[in-house]
Amino acid sequence: MTELRAIAQPRVASADAERAVKILLEYVGEDPSRDGLRDTPSRVVRALRELTSGYDSDPAEILSRTFDESSDELVLLRGIEFHSTCEHHLLPFHGTVSVGYLPGRVVGISKLARLVDCFARRLQIQERMTNQIAQAVEAHLEARGTGVIVSARHLCMACRGVRKESTVMVTSAMLGGLRTDAASRAEFLRLTSMP
């Protein structure tokens, strides 16, 4: 099972991180002291902190407030937009997520969007992020079945390397009843593909 929580790593001081950005600017042949770049190290460090804020989020806490409701039917939230950072090149990837589950416990739909952000706002690969979202829903909502589909464009493929800008990567994770029951799986896939 993929680790659902972030492993707490000691953080370096902001000043050390800013020095590292300054070195990278020098590496590409820039002068970090010129007017347009003077504040860039601190801006980059603040942006990186925001882009990786998911390490400070706990999936169990996000999904802890449930409603005293029951449902025998599929609950689906689709079109959840996200931005993440590829851990291989530190470049963005972005797209949408669909999350469906056969509830054990019912959670507010905004919590599903927060759960996506919890995992997207970390250094990631799309395959792992897809599985982490599904495993968190299954574990914390006692779901009888969980499905997650992620569709994303990766800048590490669009602006470098093979430079294929229109390419979209799609990953899925099906757990429990959405993996084993053909009718439930078909319903999930049909509802996620509707216009």
Active site residues: 86-89, 126, 154, 156
H-only helix segments in the chain: 14-27, 40-51, 59-62, 109-120, 126-140, 155-158, 177-180, 182-193
> How many angstroms separate the CA atoms of 106 and 126, rounded?
26
> How many angstroms separate the CA atoms of 170 and 60, rounded?
26
CB 106 within 8 A of CB 69: yes
SS3 47: helix
* Residue listed under structure tokens 């882009």: 51
Element (H, E) at 94: strand 92-102
Sorted by sequence, the CB contacts under 8 Å of residue 107 that are 6+ apart come out as: 63, 65, 66, 67, 141
